[in-house]
Amino acid sequence: MRTVGFRQIKSLFVLSTLCVALLLPLTASAAAPSPFEQRAGSSDTPVPIDNLEDVQQAVVRIEAVGVFKDPAEGMLMEAGSGSGFVIDEEGRVVTNNHVVTGAGFYRVYLEGKEDPVNARVLGVSECADLAVIDLQGDGYPFLAWYEEPIKVGLDVYAAGFPLGDPEYTLTRGIVAKARADGETDWASVDGVIQHDADINPGNSGGPLVTADGQVVGVNYAGDRNVNQFFAIGYDEAVRVVEQLLAGNDVDSIGVNGRAILSDDGQLSGIWVSSVASGSQADAVGMEPGDIILSLESLPVGEDGTMSTYCEILRSHSADDVMAVEVLRLDTDEVLEGQLNGRQLEQSLSLADQTGGEEAPQQETGTDAETPAAAETYEEFVEVTDGQGIFTFNAPAEWTDVADGDWIYADNNVGSRFDISPDLANFFDNWGIPGAILRYSESLPQEMSVEDLVDAYTLEESCTKGERGSQGL
């Protein structure tokens, strides 16, 4: 979710699903080798998979568990679920950077194995949205890269685990454009493949393959409204992956970030969701929740993409000293420092600029005994609907819950989950806080989100200008 006032410039979605997870230790099988032991050589030359049916053996489901800071929700413990694929018998896996960066540990699930396999990150590229992780053990089935020029009309298949579902999925399509625009708010790729093989959140990092199992690209984004899906082409991927295999990060400073742009265009930058320990960002003093305003005195994120940010990183080596300016909303201050140089220090106090006064809060509740929408909550609890679709942290005071089938226009279109201190009061006048969550696979094919919101009767209690602040 985005905080009120921020919007995404393009309607591309990051193809990873999020769910709240408990940090549980992994139990390795007694027969499994110790983590990352020295691997023995093989007398037989390994051969990659050469048919579509066996591709499943080399495609993995990745759960990356860590703590991230969301612009709207604050600190969250989450498990990002994505896909990946093995590229050699030693168990090295290609996936997306946004699937793994910032996580504390990883669970990797393979075909035919009930228990997850341990893994560690070898290298990441923030700008290319690629990462390589190393699985425990060896002797894995693997895929080979495609070697021919990518042509429009080429039959391709998207393999992976959409929506975090443990069931493997394979969809068919064609290459619609061999080189499309690769600028998004979380990556900056020189050129990507546009195809129409259906993919969903959770397909992140999964392979786009040919009929003989060769990897044409790495799936990373899509726009379901126009049936356009995108993969990082094998030529771009191979160039970056070779460096990641050597243990080098590429075009990265150690943040899980994405570009943000306020609705009025006055604030732009790179929102930092998490910081990798030991990275340049960590060393300079960046924290989750910071907004990178500029690098080398150049504003970043002004067009809502990572383009300028990544151009600057690509113009410098990993150990170059670079000036950085950061907005820290938690303390209302701007900080300046140098990557690979001096630590961040306050250059401007926003509190001093406003005389230390806090903006007055508008009273929106109609019942004096009910928490108003502007109330600050201190205790949160994990809540889950009966079907296990919605899981998130809600204020402990929100004890009135309703869930079940979502009936829209007399049809069961999915699942619903409503929560508030008082649902009757919430739905009656929208004067108290609450949340309306809906999930449907069929409705997006029939109507836009805007049309769906317009279907709710809100005009009597709020204007369109207030709609965003109502969380709708």
Distance between CA atoms of residues 145 and 163, nearest Å: 26
Burial 260-287 (b: 16+ CB within 10 A, else e): bbeeeeeebbbbbbbbbeebbbebbbbb
Identified catalytic residue from 16, 81, 83, 98? 98
Residue for token pair 């679920």: 81
Known catalytic residue at 400: no
Distance between CA atoms of residues 184 and 128, nearest Å: 11
Distance between CA atoms of residues 220 and 194, nearest Å: 11
- Structure token pair of residue 229: 């899906």
Identified catalytic residue from 16, 81, 83, 129? 129
Identified catalytic residue from 16, 81, 83, 204? 204
Known catalytic residue at 129: yes
3-state secondary structure of 171: strand
Residue for token pair 């989950």: 417
Tell me whether strands 268-275 and 74-86 are parallel, antiparallel or unpaired.
unpaired
Known catalytic residue at 98: yes
Distance between CA atoms of residues 273 and 430, nearest Å: 31
In this structure, what DSSP letter does residue 250 have? B
Residues 6 or more apart whose Cβ sits within 8 Å of residue 202: 15, 16, 17, 81, 82, 83, 160, 161, 162, 163, 164, 165
Amino acid identity of residue 39, one-letter, is R
Active site residues: 98, 129, 204
